[in-house]
Amino acid sequence: MKIPFLCYSFPYRPAFRSEVRAYHRLHRWARGHEVELIALRRSREEVQQAHGFSQLGVPYRAVLVDEWMRWTRVGMTLPTLRPASEAFFLSAPMRRAARCTVLARSIDSAVGYCASVGWRVENTERPAVIDVCDVASRRWFDYSAFKSWPLSLPYRRQGMCVARTERRLARRFDAVTVAAHGERDALEQMGIVGCVERFPNGVDAEYFVPQAKDRCDPATIAFVGRMDNFPTAQAVTRFCSEVWPALQGRIPRAKLRIVSAAPTRGVKNLSEHRAGEVTGAVADLRPNVRRSGLTLAPLAIARGARNTRLQAMAMGVPVVASRMAAGGVDAVAGEHLRVAERPEQYRDAILRVLENSAERAPLAATGRARALPHHAWAASRKRLDLIIHRCLHRFAAQPRLHRHTP
């Protein structure tokens, strides 16, 4: 099949980023289909990554975006019903590239990765799929719940604008794919039914493996995530204030390693108050995870796939997470990972894992055994092929213009 693939960022081996879905999707299709990637790039580094991407045998167009213009366009959306996130990824060169690809070639299907770029292929006369991964409108509503009035109002407004876009896209695409069952449920609550398919995230079993050379320190806790992201920054800050003092009182040599790209000033200050170590961006996160007694994800806001939890489990490192953070992982709480909600529950779960090797070792083994077969990329990519074939049949049986989504 001939498939143009539009993505908001260049997905070159993003082991820990959300674009991991896009990379593995292209990796699968490059073997048996004629795929062309059209993606935005923001820096010279991403241009170099684009050169490495050619190893997959996928032709690409890397479209440069101007950061200053991005924020200008976002500001212009404020008095309108257009989502700011859509304006943030707006690019006239990308629109022209997509239009030329769709119109100049006989394509079999078109794919948009995330709602912010989906509108560029929503009107194609061929079968089209959009991968929203997670329901962005619900994320905005989640944020608003943690903001006091009147700061909550812009977040709720963005949630309504994005939900309006998501409903429109559902009408104009033949399939909408998500990463987790909870995201499919969220779309159904919005009235989007019949076209939603689950394409779960996988984990690279050859890349994320246990290593004896990375000797585990059972008193170290790893927290992995981008700290310029509100949910992760909020989670680690609350953990340090509500749970960490009690843990240090019980295990004086305990260490919290915050493995974070783009740490905010507030997160950096945590290390100054004996809350732990903030690494900043690192070239390879695996050693920091494997040398830890467990990984932590006490997120109050979490949507979509849970890459860092899956990767830790695949490396044989126990996971303690909130129920929401564990929701996108096909695992049983208490058997494959530990789940907590209140500060005392986090304290008790972490102490059980750190202080008891008879608890830690089986949890590490069962977590890895669960992650590999249930989140193998090979199985996920086969499911993706089935979704594409169903999309083609759906398009042939019922033209998109005659569908209705509330």
pLDDT tens-digit readout, 135-150? 889 989 999 988 888 8
32 vs 316, more confident: 316
pLDDT of 207 over the 70 cut: yes
- Per-residue pLDDT at 406: 38
Amino acid at 369: A
Q: What is the mean pLDDT of residues 30-37?
A: 80
How far is it, in rounded angstroms, from Cα 18 to Cα 24?
A: 11
CB 21 within 8 A of CB 201: yes
What is 2-202+376-402's CATH number?
3.40.50.2000
CA dihedral over 106, 109, 111, 117, signed as positive or negative:
positive
| Confidence label for 195 from pLDDT (cuts 50, 70 and 90) | confident
What are the contacts of 210-215 at 24+ separation with CB within 8 A? 210/290, 210/315, 210/316, 210/368, 211/286, 211/287, 211/290, 211/315, 214/286, 214/287, 214/290, 214/291, 215/291
Q: Report the b/e string of 332-362 with b at 16+ CB within 10 A.
A: eeeebbbbbeebebbbebbbbbbeeeebbee
- Per-residue pLDDT at 402: 39
For the chain, how many helices (H) and strands (E)? 17, 13
Domains 2-202+376-402 and 217-374 share a fold: yes
CATH superfamily of 217-374: Glycogen Phosphorylase B; (3.40.50.2000)
CA dihedral over 157, 160, 162, 168, signed as positive or negative:
negative
CB 322 within 8 A of CB 309: no
Domain ranges of the chain: 2-202+376-402, 217-374
How far is it, in rounded angstroms, from Cα 172 to Cα 48?
A: 35
User: For the whole model, what pTM was predicted?
Assistant: 0.84
CB 39 within 8 A of CB 117: no
Q: In DSSP terms, which residues pair with 310 in a beta bridge?
A: none
- Per-residue pLDDT at 404: 38
Q: What is the pLDDT of residues 5-28, one digit of tens each?
A: 888 887 766 655 667 888 888 877
